[in-house]
A and B are shown apart, each in its own frame.
Chain A
């Protein structure tokens, strides 16, 4: 059974800082890994999708890496802004089923 763990559970940083969020998973037989952000009481917004054959994906200030063999992914956020404050979720896809981590709650302080 796939288990997804996200560390840290919460993070508070000053505006402008670069930061790294971590995701680990137990079963490396995955099709892809997706990072989402979730604002309080809202749905999930897709940030980046990394296919199992890829090592990283970039979108603007975000960079996600994937090391499938070690069961790890990181989400790097450059020059953080208060608008980045949200919960960041990592989701790993097997054949059809997607397993989510509990998320990292990020607060960027102006």
Chain B
């Protein structure tokens, strides 16, 4: 069964460093998302991406964050200058094997980001 994959599974970085989290969505999906979950808290929406542009973003997704689909398979989240509070599990998701963004979202296993 097709699945969303994410690399790395765990990333440790120093405060102020840039990190890139990588995702490979399900191949025929059209909508891509990033979420984060701080330990013990709710899963929070960061951004949605469709047709090579951001379609919606939350207030969390400020200028420190960017997303990119550099080729036909990868979807990346970049954090330019990490802060301690960026430590969280980051989930990528994809949906839309058809034409509607109302389709089921499929989540990857997550990347645990630890900022020291």
Contact = CB atoms under 8 A, between A and B. Distances in A.
Interface of A: 31-32, 34, 36, 42-46, 49, 51, 89, 91, 93, 95-103
Nearest to B55: A96
A49 B40 CA distance: 24
Contacts, number: 52
The 6 tightest CB contacts between A and B, nearest first, are A96-B56, A44-B107, A100-B43, A43-B109, A96-B48, A49-B104
B70 to A, nearest CB: 22
B65 interface: no
A34 B104 contact: yes
A45 B109 CA distance: 9
Given A43-B110, A97-B48, A97-B58, A102 B42 contact: yes
B33 A98 contact: yes
Chain B: interface residue count, which band? 20 to 34
A46 B106 contact: yes
Overall SS of chain A's interface: strand
Given A96-B55, A96-B56, A46 B105 contact: yes
B50 to A, nearest CB: 8
Contacts of A42: 109-110
A95 B33 CA distance: 13
B2 interface: no
A51 B102 contact: yes
B25 interface: no
Given A91-B43, A101-B42, A96 B91 contact: no
